Structure 1
Amino acid sequence: MIRTIVLTAVAAAGGWGVTRAVLAGRGVIDRRGRLDRTNHAGSTVSLIEGPAVAAGLTTAAVLVAAPSHRTAAVTATAVSGILGFVDDVAESGSAKGLRGHLGALARGEITTGALKVIGIPAAALLAAGVGRRPEPLGGSAALGALTDTVLAAGVIAGTANLLNLLDLRPGRALKAGLLALAIGESSPRTGTVLTGGALGVIAAAWPDDLAGSSMLGDTGANALGAYLGTRYALSASRPRLALELTLLGALTLASEKVSFTAVIARTPVLRELDAWGRPAALVSP
């Protein structure tokens, strides 16, 4: 117990420190402004937050005590962040959304988005295969392992995608991350350390993100989503995994037809929560 408490505190401090260090080094790391983008309000925003968050989360994941869980968390987080960074800085093709990227793949077009569609689930499968302790299904250990791995990988990859879909307004994805920490079950030891790391990283990124001076981008959103998905998927029961994957799948399909931003703008409670902490100039939908 004491070791877990110490590791959790170190993960929180380490995640916060690394994230803040990268953010503070923006002028050196991105002196030419290659990570600058224009946000929904027409202001310049930096994608430096993405690498900062991915680095902070990976640092926290390294501190997980159980080797298999550590490998799973580091793999899912780091690979998702790296593939997100490739998409952020070298985006190719005009395809958007899951349907668009799958369509591009069907035409033999390999875009940076398509690389994520392939690479993040692959990393999630590896993380799930390494990190979960499967239960037999129908008397078959192999079938149980296969089922658990596929379900857990789907949750990891699906959460990475969902956080990316939400990163359209300042603070929105970070708030979703906090909600996921509050409602998602996790293993007592690994989950506690990963929770500490996530809280430290979110706290470090919060001021700049809410102020609209930086954003997660694909790098940070994918990394945070994969990290949170791994935290949940390593220990959730099979029925919970199936339910979670169904919900993530439904939200992903809905995003192809409906604008989450429009839904939030029409729903008073969601609108107020979404705007909370954001400067007035950035509150408009």
Structure 2
Amino acid sequence: MHKRVLLGRLLVAGAGALAVRAALRTTRRVAARGVLDRTNFRGRTVSLAGGPALAAGASAAAALGAAHPAVAAAALVAGTGAGAVGLYDDIAGDRPGQRTAKGFTGHLAALRAGQVTSGLVKIIGVGAAGIGAASLLAAAPGHRARARSPIVAGADLLLGAGVIAGTANLVNLLDLRPGRAGKAGLLIAAPLLAGPTGGVVAGTAGAVAGLLRDDLDEQVMLGDCGANALGALLGVAIAQRSGLAGRAAALGVLTALTVASERVSFTQVIQGTPGLRELDALGRRTP
């Protein structure tokens, strides 16, 4: 990577870290007392303030690092859109009767019974954010060249939206232990730092790094808001650098993992796999 490009990416990452810290202070100051407090897996009271902070800070930094205005707009739509409906689910989903529906099939079952769950609203909202972001990516130079017909353009749009929404959902599925979603996000980001997607990814990764210590220390959690925003921004980077075949392959992997999550506990898999178990626990506070 050219030195000037590397320096630019480091500056964008630093901007992401600063932005998320400022957003966290603002969120804590303006949020009503107790509205963002939740009990985590260990029984500790933890604030969901990390979610809105990451959604705002990472989206802004990703847009700052984007190589084209259309990509910057896509990052803002994906990150803030997925974060907003995730925040709605974090708050409305805590009401009585909402948490009984689990997973995609659970939300569909509730809908058949006449109940529109906050989780279903989130699924629809994340999908809409994915479509909006993918349509904006179509205006970027690398994507205009391959949309040679309405059919190809339509497939490109749907696959891009699926990758963005699917990545948002995958990262959210991993957000069951302190720092897990953030670590997963950084691992996904690492190979995406090179090339035209690097600026978007650098801003996102910088924001994650700026919040990771508080997440691991169980001071804040990402919740659906932060995890969805993080995944959606990474999905924008994956969609931006992929052709039709690449988007289809990525969506296939994301779909397979989502289906597997309905049957297998990711936490049990991680705990039972040497290497993953140690990485998952790295930096986390002891009981």
So what's the TM-score if we normalise by structure 2? 0.89
Q: Determine what percentage of the aligned residue pairs are the same residue.
A: 47
- The yes-or-no answer on 1:177 pairing with 2:179 is no
Question: What are the superposed Cα offsets for residues 134-167 of structure 1, whole Å, 9 maximum, x if unpaired?
Answer: 5658xx6111111111111111000000111100
- The yes-or-no answer on 1:22 pairing with 2:23 is yes
The one of 271, 274, 280 aligned to 1:268: 274
Cα distance change on mapping 1:135 and 1:96 into 2, 3 Å: farther
Aligned to 2:62: 61
Q: Aligned residues, how many? A: 277
- In structure 2, what is the Cα distance between the partners aligned to 1:263 and 1:56? 31
Q: Please, which runs of 5 or more residues in structure 1 have no aligned partner?
A: none
Aligned to 2:257: 251
Maintained 8 Å contact 1:162/1:252:
yes
Aligned to 2:228: 222
Question: What are the superposed Cα offsets for residues 208-259 of structure 1, whole Å, 9 maximum, x if unpaired?
Answer: 0111111100000000000000011112122221111111101101111111
Which deviates more, 97-106 or 148-157? 97-106
| 1:105 Cα deviation after fit | 3.1
Aligned to 1:36: 37
- In structure 2, what is the Cα distance between the partners aligned to 1:149 and 1:179? 26
Which deviates more, 34-43 or 88-97? 88-97
- The yes-or-no answer on 1:161 pairing with 2:169 is yes
Aligned to 1:150: 158
| 1:73 Cα deviation after fit | 1.0
Which deviates more, 20-29 or 159-168? 20-29
- In structure 2, what is the Cα distance between the partners aligned to 1:207 and 1:77? 21
SS at 1:280's partner residue?
Answer: coil
- In structure 2, what is the Cα distance between the partners aligned to 1:162 and 1:26? 25
Aligned to 2:76: 74
- In structure 2, what is the Cα distance between the partners aligned to 1:122 and 1:157? 8
Aligned to 1:116: 122
- The yes-or-no answer on 1:85 pairing with 2:87 is yes
Question: What are the superposed Cα offsets for residues 50-83 of structure 1, whole Å, 9 maximum, x if unpaired?
Answer: 0110010121133224121111111011100000
| 1:31 Cα deviation after fit | 5.5
Question: What are the superposed Cα offsets for residues 116-145 of structure 1, whole Å, 9 maximum, x if unpaired?
Answer: 1111111111211220315658xx611111
Which deviates more, 195-204 or 167-176? 195-204
Cα distance change on mapping 1:2 and 1:131 into 2, 3 Å: farther
SS at 2:17's partner residue?
Answer: helix
Question: What are the superposed Cα offsets for residues 95-121 of structure 1, whole Å, 9 maximum, x if unpaired?
Answer: 111111122334442221111111111
Aligned to 1:198: 204
Q: Please, which runs of 5 or more residues in structure 2 have no aligned partner?
A: none
Cα distance change on mapping 1:111 and 1:45 into 2, 3 Å: same
Cα distance change on mapping 1:77 and 1:47 into 2, 3 Å: same
Maintained 8 Å contact 1:135/1:145:
no
Maintained 8 Å contact 1:4/1:193:
no
- In structure 2, what is the Cα distance between the partners aligned to 1:184 and 1:103? 37
Aligned 1:132-143 pairs, distance under 5 A: 132=138, 133=143, 141-143=149-151
SS at 1:34's partner residue?
Answer: coil
Which deviates more, 156-165 or 239-248? 239-248
- In structure 2, what is the Cα distance between the partners aligned to 1:252 and 1:150? 18
- In structure 2, what is the Cα distance between the partners aligned to 1:27 and 1:234? 34
**RMSD of aligned residue pairs (Cα, Å):** 2.1
- Runs of 4+ displaced beyond 4 Å: 1-7, 134-137
- The yes-or-no answer on 1:210 pairing with 2:216 is yes
SS at 2:42's partner residue?
Answer: coil
Code of the aligned partner of 2:74: A
